[in-house]
Amino acid sequence: MSVTTTAPTLLLDDVTKDFATGTRALTGVSLSISRGEFVSVVGPSGCGKSTLLRLASGLEDVSYGTLAVDAAVTSFVFQDPTLLEWRSAQKNVELVGELAGLPAAERAQRARDALALVGLDGFEKQHPRQLSGGMRMRVSIARALVAEPQLALFDEPFGALDEITRLKMQTELQKIFQLKSFAALFITHSISEAVYLSSRVLVMSGRPGRIVDDIELPWSYPRPPELRYEPEFGRIAGHISKALEENS
Ligand code: ADP
């Protein structure tokens, strides 16, 4: 019998991050995320959530401990869609293929496919100012997914959206996640968003951030929007809320 082991897509072992200012942002953080896992992080403001994402993306180095990424492509989605105003939705997404040197026809097809994936077929020619906030975020997600990442990092992507749009985006993101099966690290302030989207939720303490709770969610994907009204959903959200209060 042969046993196959695959390395986690993102692995942190006992990571501490100190900034040159003397601020210790994170301490003793260990976590492992593999493809097909959607891990959200909730924690009080300033506890080091964004720092964790920046470490995972390689924008910052760890001070102590180890961090390993096993992904040919890592994508980042920010709260601000950061689109180029003078380019259409299609051309914003195509930019990734342009920078990678893909032939024009191939990058155009990939961009169309990615826009269709996020429900924007028919809007390819629109410019960012002609799109709603939710649609701009869809373009941003399409741009992140067009390169077929193994690791996708999300820094509060739905934080600036109105509640209805936000719920819709959550429903769509977990469907896309089921289709594409990347490894996801998702930062949010919303406990219900974390519970709805994730296979695991990590709760962080106040600064310096440590992981104080690690909750596995029992539901498979895709998840119906009505899951949010289930008693088990409420029970888990309540548990996370309590863990946050006790560790802030
Ligand atoms: P969160 O995303 O949880 O709100 P951050 O990761 O942005 O928290 O910040 C964690 C702590 O690290 C904060 O006290 C912040 O001021 C500090 N910090 C973040 N980035 C830097 C930096 N480049 N230099 C110095 N301190 C920083």
Q: Average pLDDT per run of 10 along the chain, which is 248 residues long?
A: 70 97 96 96 94 94 96 92 95 93 94 92 95 94 93 94 91 92 95 97 95 96 95 97 91
| Residue 54 alpha carbon, nearest atom of ligand 1 | 6
Q: Which pairing describes strands 200-204 and 38-42: parallel, antiparallel, or unpaired?
A: parallel
Q: Provide the pLDDT for residue 3.
A: 54
| Residue 26 alpha carbon, nearest atom of ligand 1 | 10
Which residues are paired to 24 by β-bridges?
A: 18
| Residue 204 alpha carbon, nearest atom of ligand 1 | 3
What lies within 8 Å, CB to CB, of 200 at 6+ separation is: 37, 38, 39, 40, 214, 215, 216, 217
Q: Provide the pLDDT for residue 42.
A: 96
Q: Provide the pLDDT for residue 1.
A: 45
Q: Provide the pLDDT for residue 185.
A: 98
Q: Count other Cβ atoms within 10 Å, centred on residue 240.
A: 20
Distance CA 245, CA 248 (A): 6
Residue owning tokens 């919303």:
190
Distance CA 31, CA 172 (A): 26
Q: Pocket of ligand 1, candidates 15, 19, 60, 210: which has the most ligand atoms within 8 Å of its Cβ, to mutate?
A: 19
Q: Provide the pLDDT for residue 200.
A: 97
Q: Which pairing describes strands 151-155 and 74-77: parallel, antiparallel, or unpaired?
A: parallel
The closest residue, in CA terms, to atom 21 on ligand 1 is 19
| Residue 44 alpha carbon, nearest atom of ligand 1 | 3
Cα 79 to ligand 1 centroid, rounded to whole Å: 16
Q: Provide the pLDDT for residue 247.
A: 86
| Residue 187 alpha carbon, nearest atom of ligand 1 | 2
Q: What angle do CA 195, 196, 201 make, to 5 degrees?
A: 30
Q: Pocket of ligand 1, candidates 47, 51, 57: which has the most ligand atoms within 8 Å of its Cβ, to mutate?
A: 51
Q: Provide the pLDDT for residue 5.
A: 58
Q: Provide the pLDDT for residue 2.
A: 47
Q: Provide the pLDDT for residue 4.
A: 53
| Ligand 1 lining (C-beta closer than 6 Å) | 19, 21, 23, 25, 43, 45-51, 207
The closest residue, in CA terms, to atom 25 on ligand 1 is 19
Cα 207 to ligand 1 centroid, rounded to whole Å: 9
